[in-house]
Amino acid sequence: MYSICDMSEKLKLYRPDIDSIFTYVLGQYPNAYNWFLNRVIPELPIKRKILGCFVKGKIVAIAILKINDPDEKICTFYVRSKYRRRGIGTALMTECLKYLTNPYIVVKTSGIFFFRRLLEKFGFELVYKGNLAYRYRLFDRSS
């Protein structure tokens, strides 16, 4: 069984968990940790939100959202490989969409295999396909 919680307002409490899962993200994106320290943390909890999924007290998934902005975005969405195909990604995305109306997400070409089915399940549409990344947007949820 898993639980999803908003880690935004208790960052000091959850910081070791965030750091442990961020090691993967660090390897995928240059300067990811600097972005986290200099952009995400200062904008919590008004313009950013961090959601985490825990199994037996261990963080297994994370989402970082850009909220309360015309350019809403799922900045980071990651489920540890050992915990995929268990409904955790679906539950985490459902929780993300409680805070977002018409968000977009950019997925690296190398990761599209893992994301395409989840994004299509939620109604995201492909709006850009490049050599390095895909951009999906969720339209018309405000009505």
Name the CATH superfamily for 2-100.
Gcn5-related N-acetyltransferase (GNAT) (3.40.630.30)
**pTM greater than 0.85 (yes/no):** yes
Q: Where exactly are the structural domains of the chain? A: 2-100
Place of tokens 């977002």: 100
Q: What percent of the chain has pLDDT over 70?
A: 97
Q: Take residue 60 and report the two structure tokens written for it.
A: 């297994």
78/99 Cα distance (integer angstroms): 17
pLDDT tens digits, 63-118: 999 999 989 999 999 999 899 999 999 999 999 999 999 999 999 888 898 889 99
Picking from 86, 42, 89, the residue whose alpha carbon sits closest to that of residue 66 is 42
Q: 27 pLDDT exceeds 80?
A: no
Section 36-60 average pLDDT: 91
In a 10 Å sphere around its CB, with 0-12 CB exposed, 13-18 middle and 19+ buried, how is residue 126 labelled? middle
